[in-house]
């Protein structure tokens, strides 16, 4: 999974109608704008310290651009730090975010001031391990006749873990605990433990065989928010959530923002309403996708979680 996704993201821009999938920032500007509002509000209530804005896996830079526009309106213009390894996506991001700084990992993010970090649909693409049966035997993968052949699951119980995810969230939490600031994680997954086989592939906006054509399709799995929270809390940060993305966006004011956009452009009212529903409705992204915050000790309670 790690090798396949590394190649996949390094060789293409997978987003949008011409790609394989669409993320929340590409659905509507409202998503990034409300995240920018979240950052600006927290910054203001923390007495406006100098901060860095950092994003993990920033895609095309759409979320960052929308968030920074909102932050600018609140008087916040932080340096931009992007954790991105794909040369293709770095080129796209540079066009939208001139002056940004790039990093291969969390470890090289600046240490001189608090961090406001956003990770949207980042952890779901990190590699997982699967353990099957009562003995929790690790599921292995062979290669024969030109394709991967995973151990059959049958009716066995499957448990998933993601050591890579836990290592990254722990490193991020250590930085926030030491420097101040907060991280907002938005992704799809389970609040308490990831059970069952959740590995999936997407190609051309449809589900695909995750074991075929490695490196040519996006591989993801459910995020275990409970495990992320435990790993981060052990490093000294406060945890808020997880909470469904729909209720979180409603608390942040998406309905008011949608009404404002529709009033400003009546011809786009239906489009704005459809985007709002896609982000918020439980049967779409509102329930499966969740928001969780890691906050430095002494910093305010973040908006949307009180």
**What does R_g of the chain's alpha carbons equal in angstroms?**
19
Q: How far apart are CA 59 and CA 56, in angstroms?
A: 9
Contact partners, residue 236, CB within 8 Å, separation at least 6: 173, 174, 177, 297
Q: Which of 122, 134, 202, 135 is nearest to 162 (CA)?
A: 122
Exposed / middle / buried, residue 142 (Cβ in 10 Å: 0-12, 13-18, 19+): exposed
pLDDT at 14: 87
Say if residues 43 and 77 touch (Cβ distance below 8 Å): no
pLDDT at 194: 60
pLDDT in tens for each of the 306 residues of the chain?
Answer: 999 999 999 999 888 877 888 899 999 999 999 999 999 999 999 999 999 999 999 999 999 999 999 999 999 999 999 999 999 999 999 999 999 999 999 999 999 999 999 999 999 999 999 999 999 999 999 988 888 999 999 889 999 999 999 999 999 999 999 999 999 999 999 877 667 999 999 998 999 999 999 899 999 999 999 999 999 999 999 999 999 999 999 999 999 999 999 999 999 999 999 999 999 999 999 999 999 999 999 999 999 997
pLDDT at 190: 83
pLDDT at 204: 87
pLDDT at 193: 67
Contact partners, residue 193, CB within 8 Å, separation at least 6: 159, 224, 226, 227
pLDDT at 231: 98
Task: State the fold for domain 2-125+163-295.
Answer: Rossmann fold (3.40.50)
């Amino acid at each position: 999974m790690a090798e396949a996704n590394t190649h996949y993201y390094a060789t293409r821009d997978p987003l949008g109608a011409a790609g394989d999938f669409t993320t929340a920032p590409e659905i509507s500007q409202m998503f990034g704008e409300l995240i920018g509002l979240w950052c600006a509000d927290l910054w203001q209530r923390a007495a406006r310290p100098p901060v860095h804005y950092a994003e993990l896996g920033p895609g095309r830079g759409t979320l960052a651009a929308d968030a920074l526009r909102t932050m600018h309106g609140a008087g916040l213009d932080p340096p931009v730090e992007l954790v991105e390894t794909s040369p293709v996506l770095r080129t796209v991001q540079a066009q939208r975010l001139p002056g940004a700084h790039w990093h291969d990992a969390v470890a090289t993010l600046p240490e001189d001031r608090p961090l406001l970090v956003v990770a949207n649909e980042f952890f779901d693409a990190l590699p997982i391990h699967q353990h099957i049966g009562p003995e929790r035997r690790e599921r292995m993968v062979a290669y024969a006749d030109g394709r991967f052949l995973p151990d059959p699951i049958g009716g066995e119980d499957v448990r998933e873990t993601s050591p890579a995810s836990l290592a990254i969230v722990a490193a991020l939490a250590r930085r926030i605990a030491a420097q101040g600031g907060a991280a907002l994680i938005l992704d799809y997954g389970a609040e308490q433990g990831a059970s069952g086989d959740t590995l999936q592939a997407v190609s051309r906006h449809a589900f695909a065989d995750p074991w075929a054509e490695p490196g040519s399709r996006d591989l993801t799995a459910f995020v275990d928010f409970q495990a992320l929270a435990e790993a981060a809390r052990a490093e000294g940060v406060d945890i808020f959530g997880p909470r469904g993305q729909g209720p979180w966006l409603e608390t942040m004011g998406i309905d008011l923002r949608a009404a404002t956009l529709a009033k400003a452009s009546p011809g786009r009212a239906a489009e704005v309403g459809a985007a709002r529903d896609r982000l918020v409705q439980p049967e779409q992204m509102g329930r499966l996708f969740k928001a969780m915050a890691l906050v430095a000790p002494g910093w305010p309670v973040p908006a949307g979680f009180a």
